[in-house]
Structure 1
């Protein structure tokens, strides 16, 4: 099991979360992180600021509810898995941004944070159980039904189902 998957599973177990939807905002609070909606550039989904033992997750308030939810989960991945990247300022501040670069998932830490977010919001065991229970005439219908159940975007659910080998692809 990949480190990101194991960390997401451990977090779900720690807080006894065993059914969807998963609330990353509540988890952030339980981990001592404050989530703050921000006016950010349209290509920036969020950021994680760590300074003096405090953690603040800034999320782009103009993005959709599902995208903000994924962003919080993504930033929790950084919080739990990565020390953070230094930002050159006058203080010892560390920052991670979720932006157009991170969404392309070309950086190892960004790939890992995306994987953590997917495993947190759509845990494999829950997804498999739901997929077996749902009667859907097509892959797109399955994606839509599970996206509603897990309260994530259809695009995120489609990727999750493909990555878990439950569907081979969809028309999206």
Structure 2
């Protein structure tokens, strides 16, 4: 799905994809435990991300929430820091898989020796390296 979406819209940048898909992205001063959330209201899609996050994390958070917008359009979802990575719901796993695929879409992962190197280069949380197919 990521490949089709990226090719059709000629970008794998989550911010550009949101713009092309009419998904409104809003920085918000959220609680320190909340990275971001996706909200569907009356056929309108919104992604809120924590404006206090370091720049390198924001792109992943938006990619993750974009996964919800595309895969789980009518479900609202929150990306918090307190959820243990090994105990994720099915929709959270799918959103992470989507985000990882999107973040590496334009990278030649063969030039890296390990999945950890790919994560560090692409701005993917190290806990998500299991979703990289190398």
Gaps of 5+ in 1: 1-6, 86-94, 167-172
**CA-atom RMSD, angstroms?**
2.7
Q: Determine the structure 2 residue equivalent to 1:12.
A: 6
Segments of 5+ residues of structure 2 without an aligned counterpart are none
TM-score when normalising by structure 1: 0.65
Q: Aligned in 2, Cα 1:154/1:114: closer, same or farther, shift over 3 Å?
A: closer
Indicate the residue corresponding to 2:79 in structure 1: 98
1:19-58 correspondence runs (5 A): 22-58=12-48
- How many residues are paired up? 133
State the alpha-carbon separation in 1 of the partners of residues 117 and 52 from structure 2. Answer: 25
> Is the CA contact (8 Å cut-off) linking 2:103 and 2:124 kept in structure 1?
no
* In structure 1, distance between residues paired with 2:65 and 2:109: 27
Greater Cα radius of gyration, structure 1 or 2? 1
Residue matched to 1:108: 90
Q: Normalised by the size of structure 2, how large is the TM-score?
A: 0.81
Q: In structure 1, what is the equivalent of residue 117 of structure 2?
A: 143
TM alignment of 1:154-165, pairs within 5 A? 155=126, 159=129, 163-164=132-133
